[in-house]
Amino acid sequence: MDPRFVLVHSPLVGPITWALVSNELRRRGLGTLVPELASPTETPFWPQHLDSVVGALADLPAADPVVLVGHSGAGPLLPAIGRAAGRPVAAYIFADAGLPTGGASRMSTGGFADYLRDLYARDERFPNWRDPDLRDTVPDLALRARLIAELRPQPLAFWEERLPVVGNWPDAPGAYLQFTPAYDADAQQARRLGWPYRHIAGNHFHLLVDPTAVTDALLDLARDIRVIPNR
């Protein structure tokens, strides 16, 4: 039996980010699930995101294996999701996503952290994208409008909270799919770990631009780590 692909969206956006890829996987005869993460307003945030996925899995038979796929900010949550899932995890796939941070916060060092600190000092929140900001990233008007409608601007506490440490991880094969240079460091780390790797030159929301190519890459990675057979 092929494992079900559980497609986890970033806490900064909504499930539309995975909708087209989910449809494409189903068209090819594979089971999928796109849990919708909670939108908590108080800390701690990550356990509530974790509970959203675990709750969505509750209706599936406990013996059914899953492939956990995280996009963007969902990446660091995958180990905790896998440990709490209560079922076999066949693989972890990170799609233009952060890798587990070993108990660090999302407020890392570097240019993005400086940008966030400046933004929040001005009483703004991230993400703060508007339609003109995403016209080149998501050319389709309807998809772009849906993406913007589902944005989840987070308070500063979201960025500052420390993410969970999961011992003896990875407990299943890992793989990495990269779209943008913003995730060079994570992709390089994945390759150092010996994980299968694919690169699609695109933007961070390439899942909404070319879901066929993204699906092809995910399935190539799944075959590389032998969680689905060659067809």
List the structure tokens of 156: 């500063």
Give pLDDT tens digits along the chain (231 positions).
789 999 999 999 999 999 999 999 999 999 999 999 999 888 899 999 999 999 999 989 999 999 999 999 999 999 999 999 999 999 999 999 999 988 889 987 567 888 999 999 999 999 999 999 999 999 999 999 999 999 999 999 999 999 999 999 999 999 999 999 999 999 999 999 999 999 999 999 999 999 999 999 999 999 999 998 876
DSSP symbol at 182: G
220-226 contacts, C-beta under 8 A, 24 or more apart: 220/196, 221/93, 221/175, 221/176, 221/177, 221/196, 221/197, 222/67, 222/91, 222/93, 222/175, 224/175, 224/196, 225/91, 225/173, 225/174, 225/175, 225/196, 226/173
Enter the pTM of the model.
Answer: 0.96
Pick the CATH number of 4-224 from 3.40.50.2300, 1.10.150.20, 3.40.50.1100, 3.40.50.1820: 3.40.50.1820
Length of the chain, in residues: 231
Question: Which residue ranges make up each domain of the chain?
Answer: 4-224
> Sign (positive/negative) of CA torsion 118, 121, 127, 130?
negative
List all residues 6 or more positions away from 42 whose beta carbon is below 8 Å from its beta carbon: none
